[in-house]
Amino acid sequence: MKTIVILGGGYAGINLVDSLKKELKDQLGTAVRVILVDKNSYHFRKVLLVKAITEDADDLQLKVPFQRYISKGIEVLQGEVTRINKTGNIVEIEKEDHQVVEVHYDYLVITLGSRVKDNENFIGGMTLKDESSAHDIKDRLIDLINKTKKLNSDHKRQSNLKIALVGAGITGIETACELAVWLKEQALIHGIDPNGVEVLLFDPKTRLLHEAPDHISSRLEKKMNKFGVKFFSNTRVKEFNNGYLVCTDGRKYEIGLCIITNGVEVNPTIKQLQLPLSDQNQLIVNDCYEVEGHKNIYSIGDCARIIDPITNKYDGMTCKEAIPQAQRLAKIIKHKMTKQPNHIVHTSYPVKLFCVSLGPKEGFVWIQKWGMNFTLTGQLGLRFRNYTWNLASLLK
């Protein structure tokens, strides 16, 4: 019996399990077994983190128990990966009770992903990094509303309801709109003028969604303005201190709260594994996702440095890339197991796609195909967004 061990049940890990089920269906449980290892007992739907600020966690289905992905020949082991013994083909897993178990592999796939960058230099700023930080942000916002109610000065009331977001990627855009809508609702409930609510979104880039044509970026920006979100391009934030947000160009804004949404970094566990790393600490892999110098160790998802051989560009750290990588790797492993020559060529991603929610009722989707640009907005955009969220976690 051959054993495939997958380290990490994030988007890359669960989609690889799903694709292996399809590719190896006749062998699973008889000739092949797959062991999915994760420190948690559930798949965490990171892409919904922003909703954890404003919505009830139970309604969100943020955590999907791994049981949902198990079938014949697929096992789950809960514990933290600590070490790989490459000569013995063994991976060491520390369980919750600190007991270390050794798991033998024939094929090992590392999908340990990334974590949100925590920028502690922003004194007083809060980073949206996990479920508990989302709850802390909500508590701070509720506190702000309660304090605002007691203020007499209109100026102070307005600055209290000004929220700054640092970083205008997908998370920054979605958080800005979600909070603008939610804060206005809360203001009304508490008898405060909702027009005082303003969300300032800062980014050093020249425009939102910079990979799309100018007119698409402007369209997105206009939609966000409608919710009370103001975008500051070409602006790097230096610090948040004593209620003031200071930018590197010297501009200063009086605000109530600063939230940091400035991207992700590779999971630090990757460094411990003593495998070849890029300067961004991603595992260096070849065009079949094999880790350099290790024929039976593969890596995909956020923790791997993958170059698209057609465009010669690095794959981004998003689900949009992780999922096709998982589908392709399942085929590569199948070919390797059956000793067939590898014909699994890399095909470029079929479309350029960008998809965000703009608050609880609208979405914005941009698709580029055949040199043309398509957008979906409003409720239709949100429906598409919901579909991609569910698809990524295999919740059909």
Ligand X SMILES: Cc1cc2nc3c(=O)[nH]c(=O)nc-3n(C[C@H](O)[C@H](O)[C@H](O)COP(=O)(O)OP(=O)(O)OC[C@H]3O[C@@H](n4cnc5c(N)ncnc54)[C@H](O)[C@@H]3O)c2cc1C
Tokens describing residue 369: 């195909």
State which residue has the least CB distance to ligand X: 10
Tokens describing residue 297: 């160790």
* Closer residue to ligand X, CB minimum distance, 118 or 154: 118
| Distinct helix (H) and strand (E) counts, the chain | 10, 27
* Closer residue to ligand X, CB minimum distance, 84 or 180: 84
Strand, coil or helix: 285: strand
* Closer residue to ligand X, CB minimum distance, 223 or 320: 320
Q: What is the DSSP string of 4-46?
A: EEEE--SHHHHHHHHHHHHHTTTTBTTTEEEEEEESSSEEE-G
* Closer residue to ligand X, CB minimum distance, 245 or 259: 259
Taking the complex as a whole, how short is the minimal distance between the CB of residue 35 and ligand X, in angstroms?
A: 12
Question: How many alpha carbons lie under 13 Å from residue 246 in its C-beta half-sphere?
Answer: 11
Residues that bind ligand X (CB under 6 A): 8-13, 37-40, 44, 46-47, 49, 80-81, 111-114, 116, 170-171, 264, 267, 269, 301-302, 317-320, 322
Taking the complex as a whole, how short is the minimal distance between the CB of residue 112 and ligand X, in angstroms?
A: 5
Taking the complex as a whole, how short is the minimal distance between the CB of residue 188 and ligand X, in angstroms?
A: 28
Taking the complex as a whole, how short is the minimal distance between the CB of residue 160 and ligand X, in angstroms?
A: 26
Taking the complex as a whole, how short is the minimal distance between the CB of residue 134 and ligand X, in angstroms?
A: 9
* Closer residue to ligand X, CB minimum distance, 5 or 49: 49
* Closer residue to ligand X, CB minimum distance, 14 or 28: 14
229-232 and 198-202 strand pairing: parallel
DSSP state of 302: G
Total Cβ atoms within 10 A of residue 252:
10
Cross-strand bridge partners of residue 199? 163, 229
Taking the complex as a whole, how short is the minimal distance between the CB of residue 349 and ligand X, in angstroms?
A: 12
Strand, coil or helix: 241: strand
